[in-house]
Structure 1
Amino acid sequence: MTIMKIRGIQKSFNEQQILQNAEMDIKHNSRFGLVGNNGAGKTTLANIIYGSITPDKGMIDTFNNNMNIGYLKQSTEYSIHELENPFSLAENGLFELSSHLGLNKDVDWVDPDWEKLSGGEKLKISLASIWASRPELLILDEPTNHLDLQGVEWLIDEIKTFKGAVIIISHDRYFLDRTVTEIIEIEDGTTNLFHGNYTAYRKEKEKLYEIQLHQYGIQQKHKQQIEQQMANLKNWSEKAHRDSTKQEGYKEYYRMKAKKMDNQIKSKMKRLNQELEKNEVKPPKEEAAVRFEFQDSRKRGKRILEARDLSKFFGSRCLFEKSHFYMNHGESMALLGTNGSGKTTLIKILLGEDTPSSGEVWVSETVRIGYLSQDVSDLPPDKTALEYTGLTDRESIGRARTIFANIGLHEEKLTVPISYLSLGERTRIKLVMMLLDEIDLLILDEPTNHLDLASRESLEKTLMDFQGSILVVSHDVYFIEKISEKLLLIDNGKISRKEFGMKEFNNQKSSPNLSSKKKEEQLMVVQNEINAIVGRLSFMNKDESGYEELDNVLAELLKKKRELI
């Protein structure tokens, strides 16, 4: 059953048209993913559907005029005062929902200390309150920003069982793949419908691109053939005109011949224009190319940081204690832990902005650290992007302009105050500041928040080629699966280093655990094999035939041993 019809929606801001023709039919059980580049109009359309913005043209027809719409906005600046009476919501399971989301802190609902809550905790309370209000239509704008993996999995399960329609604006490919069955793409102000999840949408887009490119190629070849024919006729016509003025007795013949050819040219031109007007195939639109290019990292010593017996307490509350870990040059690590486990606090300790309660952290003096925080509200709102760089010499400003252009911030965005820019554009400004420096260690706190899909994929490729070290906190499962080779896991008050990445971590979680006895047996077998190979290698020289092959086998066995441990 269709609960809402949207037709011919148009919306402009300051003479810039954002939406030209937005259309969609929302059914009772619809699961839409709303995608498009930053600034395409996704949030504008969401606000129009919600009723907080009025369209310039078009209509929205709802089956129920009193439809309850729950709208989670794209912001960390949620306010407890925007929530309905929490006690009435409690009857609908607000506190239970908050618990499912992993919000274990005691919240004073009558007079909450809202400022002390993190962005993730505010989002969880807002999300839980929206859910508890029992909406018929849910609009979720970047709902996984600031959610930990536990919260994301809970939200995926809830959306699957939700008895109503859902519209999700998200750049989280993993989340979209797990939750939506249709994609609405906004491109050039117009909506296009694709059936399937995000991966199916990308495949269909690529197929349509190839088809259009092929048809465009055929059309261009046909056009060139007609134009070549017209060029030949034109040459013959010009020759006939010249001959008609030279050869006595044949002037009329050549004049008629030239006129006939002129008519043929006009006829072919008319047919070509009619054909193009009726069946013209335009060249397929190239996706915006986004390039992140970090400076080559300078070579450093092997170990760049190490923590010994690290502990952090806030009053009687323990985040982590007696933890030891290290990081080597060139390693890519993902920092995992639930909201409130201490990820942001650990980053502050590594940056020297906070001190541990006990223990110590050693960071190499020669390491240059670049830090991207998830908060984009700390940028000066009145400054322009160029002013914020602080650059004054012509050469550096020129390089900065090039980098800005490479990541999709063109000249018109560089000369307006930062307050006029979207959250995604502000994130890009922060990335540019890091790109301008020669960085050895990148510490990235939710780097894909507010970045569109093309930018996320470009950032992935760049980080995979980055020669320095990376420590990343992210809820984007696809992103950290590609980036991470090692993990730092905060669990049960301990920080531990894991010798595998996110993919292996997820595989371990999804596969049944081996019994302790079976693990011990396998470990014994692997250790015996290691001992045998070490013994053989001790009698061989490095340049001897077979040494390298045995050395590789040993490396695999050591890796297997670490996994078993």
Structure 2
Amino acid sequence: MTAARTRGRGSAPREPVVAPGAVHLVADDVTFAYPGRPVLAGVTVVAGAGQRIGVVGENGAGKSTLLQVLSGELVPQVGSVRRAGTLAVVSQELESTPGATVGTLVDEALGAVRAAGHALEAVIAGFDHERGDLVTLTEALARVDRLAGWDADRRMDEALTRFGAPRDQARALAEMSVGERYRVRLACRIAQRADVLLLDEPTNHLDEAGIEYLTGQLRTWPGVVVIVTHDRQLLDDVMTAILDLDPTVDGKPALYGATSYAVYRFAKDQALRRWRQRYAAEQQRREQLLRRLDDSYEGLSDGWRPPKGSQPNRRATHARIHVKAADRLVARLEETAVEVPVPPLALAFPDLPALPATAGGTPSGRPLLEVRAPLVPGRLDLAGTRVSVPACGRLLVTGPNGSGKSTLLGALAGVVPLERGTWTLAPGVRLGILAQDDRPGLGGVPAVATGFDAYAREALDLLAGGLLDPDQLVPVAFLGLLTEEDLDRPLADLSVGQRRRFDLARALLAAPHLLILDEPTNHLSIALVDELTAALRATSAAVVVATHDRKMRADLSDWPELTLA
């Protein structure tokens, strides 16, 4: 950070005055590992005022860990991090202090602004117009101006409103949903206007209006912004560079100056293609040299028993020369060989059935699932509405936060009871459900359970309830969502994104005829989002999706749509 804060007797701590050009964030060759598990290696980030870096990569690649290192929450084992200016962070997992309210977060975010305002008022009140210290007055004015203190309360109210966050400052955070808590925290950090802003998946809990407001704020942010995101549209609209934490040929993350997601994907695919071609050439050359070495050893072996009348010493010496030459070539090759890490997992979406294999099957024209006139008091009221999902059907559910999308999907899944209306599921139809959970992958599962154990327990429960055909069970390791090493680890040790992948695997476990997916892109890597979107379009199963992801909505724009107000 910059120079230490100074404190006058009886005064509040003052933020140092930092010139806009001095605002910066530097991570120099950072390496970080958890016990027994390396995460970041050789990460370098240099950003100045006005630069906005999007961080992407597979789930578990270390994106959230990088933000923790940049913020100083984690200390790298190798390398260093330097920041100039004030810092604000919004993490994916938000712990709320007991008794904390909306007002607690507002006061915390605007503390420096208000302290600067009070300090200025004190300087003005005690200013001697004949012998007063103009330097002190100028510094106090500059501090308030840099923090935009003149309209801080207006900014806060605007951010809370535009993000659809609770505005009652007496409301307890513990009484809110995870989305509401996140929106309050995000609004506070946006209104705070810190010099260095670190955001982890900021669009996960925002509707379209909230995302548009966030986009506008970030595009004009005067300081440094680093964002971990799966939102492909946000990458296009906001970022000045993209940092990809996936493995590269030299083992270090790649920084792409491209500001378009399509350009970034093209550049990455080209680099990966060159990497694979070089690896294939190295492997072919190695095989040729090894064959040459084998031939030389055979010649050496023959040389010890030369035919009568030959020159055995000369033949043996000649063979040994060839062997040594081959050995040197192999040694040089090993020194320069390309070590290719295991490539990122690719989604292997299962071949899901369209109809249940019951006697006679589902009657022709009868939907797999139907809900009529559902009412959940205070959350959903669709009087006179019938939501029907036929075999192989598609439905895209949209609407702003609070309109009842998650409630409707819960009603379709049969897990939200209706005070009015009917829910009808055709005989033998299996559902695959991906809900929005506060802690993905841990609902009802002991934190110490491994992925394999939890998946087996889920399968046994479904089997006991007659909701699983043993011949159609989808093995979790088959899906390409998590490595076997990750599945052998306790779920609590996985990243939020990896736990979300596990939740997706659980939704596919029983080979469902109908998938009900609530915000399926949340916490997933952008590469997996691309693969999942293509799989949902191609699957034989029926699919219902509620999503705020603008790119996914565009990709599914030809589906029937139900918009909730």
CA distance in 1, matches of 2:60, 2:299: 54
Query: Aligned residue for 2:168?
Result: 108
Which deviates more, 398-407 or 203-212?
398-407
Residue from 488, 505, 519 that aligns with 2:561: 488
Query: Aligned residue for 1:169?
Result: 228
Q: What is the CA distance between 1:236 and its match in structure 2? A: 4.3
CA distance in 2, matches of 1:98, 1:156: 15
CA distance in 1, matches of 2:181, 2:82: 33
Structure 1 portions without partners, runs of 5+ = 493-565
Matched, 1:210 2:268: no
Matched, 1:73 2:91: yes
Matched, 1:181 2:240: yes
CA distance in 1, matches of 2:265, 2:427: 45
Q: Specify the SS of the correspondent of 1:83.
A: helix
The amino acid across from 2:266 in the alignment is: K
Determine if contact 2:481/2:505 at 8 Å carries over to the other structure.
no
Runs of 4+ in 1 over 6 A off after TM superposition: 395-401
Question: 1:342-491 residue pairs with structure 2 within 5 A?
Answer: 342-356=404-418, 360-375=422-437, 376=440, 377-382=442-447, 384=449, 385-388=451-454, 389-390=456-457, 391=459, 402-404=475-477, 406-483=479-556, 485-491=558-564
CA distance in 2, matches of 1:410, 1:226: 34
Q: Residues 355, 397 of structure 1: CA spacing in aligned structure 2 closer, same or farther, 3 A cutoff? A: closer
Matched, 1:4 2:25: yes
CA distance in 1, matches of 2:190, 2:529: 29
Query: Aligned residue for 1:556?
Result: none
Determine if contact 1:72/1:130 at 8 Å carries over to the other structure.
yes
- 1:117-136 deviation digits (Å, cap 9, x = unpaired): 33333222211110011111
Query: Aligned residue for 1:289?
Result: 346
CA distance in 2, matches of 1:387, 1:239: 58
Which deviates more, 29-38 or 455-464?
455-464
Q: Specify the SS of the correspondent of 2:29.
A: strand
Determine if contact 2:88/2:189 at 8 Å carries over to the other structure.
yes
Q: Residues 273, 352 of structure 1: CA spacing in aligned structure 2 closer, same or farther, 3 A cutoff? A: closer
Q: What is the CA distance between 1:318 and its match in structure 2? A: 7.5
Which deviates more, 403-412 or 469-478?
403-412
Q: Residues 88, 452 of structure 1: CA spacing in aligned structure 2 closer, same or farther, 3 A cutoff? A: closer
Matched, 1:263 2:321: yes
Q: Specify the SS of the correspondent of 1:140.
A: strand
CA distance in 2, matches of 1:138, 1:242: 76
Higher strand share: 1
Which deviates more, 461-470 or 395-404?
395-404
Q: Specify the SS of the correspondent of 2:242.
A: strand
Q: What is the CA distance between 1:234 and its match in structure 2? A: 4.3
Q: What is the CA distance between 1:276 and its match in structure 2? A: 4.6
Determine if contact 2:474/2:508 at 8 Å carries over to the other structure.
no
Q: Specify the SS of the correspondent of 1:470.
A: strand
CA distance in 2, matches of 1:155, 1:208: 32
The amino acid across from 1:210 in the alignment is: R
Structure with larger RCO (C-alpha < 8 A, sep 6+): 2
CA distance in 2, matches of 1:415, 1:210: 31
Determine if contact 1:320/1:342 at 8 Å carries over to the other structure.
no
Q: Specify the SS of the correspondent of 1:335.
A: strand
Question: 1:95-134 residue pairs with structure 2 within 5 A?
Answer: 95-103=157-165, 107-109=167-169, 111-134=170-193
Determine if contact 2:369/2:424 at 8 Å carries over to the other structure.
yes
Residue from 67, 85, 106 that aligns with 1:46: 67
CA distance in 2, matches of 1:286, 1:471: 31
Which deviates more, 286-295 or 135-144?
286-295
CA distance in 2, matches of 1:346, 1:491: 10
Determine if contact 2:279/2:338 at 8 Å carries over to the other structure.
yes
Q: Residues 113, 286 of structure 1: CA spacing in aligned structure 2 closer, same or farther, 3 A cutoff? A: closer
CA distance in 2, matches of 1:383, 1:469: 34
Q: Residues 257, 462 of structure 1: CA spacing in aligned structure 2 closer, same or farther, 3 A cutoff? A: same
Determine if contact 1:77/1:119 at 8 Å carries over to the other structure.
no
Q: What is the CA distance between 1:259 and its match in structure 2? A: 0.9
Determine if contact 1:442/1:469 at 8 Å carries over to the other structure.
yes
Determine if contact 1:334/1:473 at 8 Å carries over to the other structure.
yes
TM-score by length of 1: 0.75
Q: What is the CA distance between 1:226 and its match in structure 2? A: 3.9
Determine if contact 1:34/1:183 at 8 Å carries over to the other structure.
yes
CA distance in 2, matches of 1:313, 1:166: 41
CA distance in 2, matches of 1:117, 1:261: 80
Residue from 53, 61, 72 that aligns with 2:82: 61
- 1:283-329 deviation digits (Å, cap 9, x = unpaired): 57533233232542325343334455555552xx8855443443322
- 1:229-262 deviation digits (Å, cap 9, x = unpaired): 444444444444432xx323x4xx3421331232
Q: Specify the SS of the correspondent of 2:41.
A: strand
Determine if contact 1:341/1:490 at 8 Å carries over to the other structure.
no
Q: What is the CA distance between 1:74 and its match in structure 2? A: 0.7
Which deviates more, 83-92 or 424-433?
83-92
TM-score by length of 2: 0.75
Q: Specify the SS of the correspondent of 1:138.
A: strand
Which deviates more, 216-225 or 342-351?
216-225
CA distance in 2, matches of 1:434, 1:356: 23
Determine if contact 2:57/2:245 at 8 Å carries over to the other structure.
yes
- 1:498-555 deviation digits (Å, cap 9, x = unpaired): xxxxxxxxxxxxxxxxxxxxxxxxxxxxxxxxxxxxxxxxxxxxxxxxxxxxxxxxxx
CA distance in 1, matches of 2:553, 2:300: 67
CA distance in 2, matches of 1:409, 1:224: 32
- 1:191-211 deviation digits (Å, cap 9, x = unpaired): 322221333222122111222
Q: Residues 360, 92 of structure 1: CA spacing in aligned structure 2 closer, same or farther, 3 A cutoff? A: same
Q: Residues 15, 307 of structure 1: CA spacing in aligned structure 2 closer, same or farther, 3 A cutoff? A: closer
Query: Aligned residue for 1:509?
Result: none
Determine if contact 1:78/1:123 at 8 Å carries over to the other structure.
no
Which deviates more, 188-197 or 50-59?
188-197
Determine if contact 2:479/2:505 at 8 Å carries over to the other structure.
no
CA distance in 1, matches of 2:109, 2:220: 25
Q: What is the CA distance between 1:47 and its match in structure 2? A: 1.0
CA distance in 1, matches of 2:186, 2:527: 27
CA distance in 2, matches of 1:398, 1:74: 38
Q: Percent identity?
A: 26
Matched, 1:192 2:258: no
Question: 1:136-175 residue pairs with structure 2 within 5 A?
Answer: 136-175=195-234
Query: Aligned residue for 2:54?
Result: 33
Q: Specify the SS of the correspondent of 2:368.
A: strand
Q: Residues 159, 222 of structure 1: CA spacing in aligned structure 2 closer, same or farther, 3 A cutoff? A: same
Determine if contact 2:355/2:391 at 8 Å carries over to the other structure.
no
Matched, 1:14 2:77: no
Q: What is the CA distance between 1:145 and its match in structure 2? A: 0.9
Residue from 308, 315, 336 that aligns with 1:247: 308
Query: Aligned residue for 2:17?
Result: none
- 1:53-72 deviation digits (Å, cap 9, x = unpaired): 2222322223x3xx211111
The amino acid across from 1:293 in the alignment is: P
The amino acid across from 1:407 in the alignment is: G
